[in-house]
Amino acid sequence: MKEIGGFLELDLYKDRNKKFKNNLLLFNSCRNALAYIIKVKNIKKMAVPYYLCDSIVNLLQKNNIDITFYHIKMDFTPENNIKLRTGEYLFVVNYYGQLTKKMQGKLKSQYKNIILDNTQAFFDKPLKNVDTLYSFRKFFGVPDGGGYLRMMQVTIIN
């Protein structure tokens, strides 16, 4: 067996992600995909879990987003004490693909404005009307970075 380090071996299969290309935007990183959502939707405040990669928090701070942190329950869903006002967003991480479609749907109906982070659940199909981030560098050998964004409504910005 070949040992691998921080990156997977370069994957040269051309058709591996054909089924994921429909209605998705391609970015060089998930951070840039999230920055795109922030800009397009003019997000000013976001609730994020305490258990989150520092790169996301740094990105939010860099974009002057007011951050509220929340705890997660044993089933990886946010605690119920989150209060969002109009235009505020809930950043939900699908840790290890543990959030079922039913759980995701409940979060969408409860909080309305959610962004789902599927970086650890690449093969989890997106929920309708939910902006969803995917990172393929964690599942496929790519030179560096790489992320997909499935947006509810695609807006092109310059």
pTM: 0.77
H or E stretch covering 42: none
Partners of 92 in the β-ladder: 116
Number of domains in the chain: 1
Domain residues for 103?
22-150
In a domain, 50, yes or no: yes
CA distance 144 to 121: 18
* pLDDT digit string, tens, across residues 120-155: 766 677 778 888 887 765 655 555 555 555 565 544
CATH code: domain of residue 120 = 3.40.640.10
* pLDDT digit string, tens, across residues 57-94: 999 999 999 999 999 999 889 987 798 998 899 999 99
In a domain, 125, yes or no: yes
Are the beta carbons of 113 and 88 closer than 8 angstroms? yes
Judged by DSSP in three states, 91 sits in strand
In a domain, 9, yes or no: no
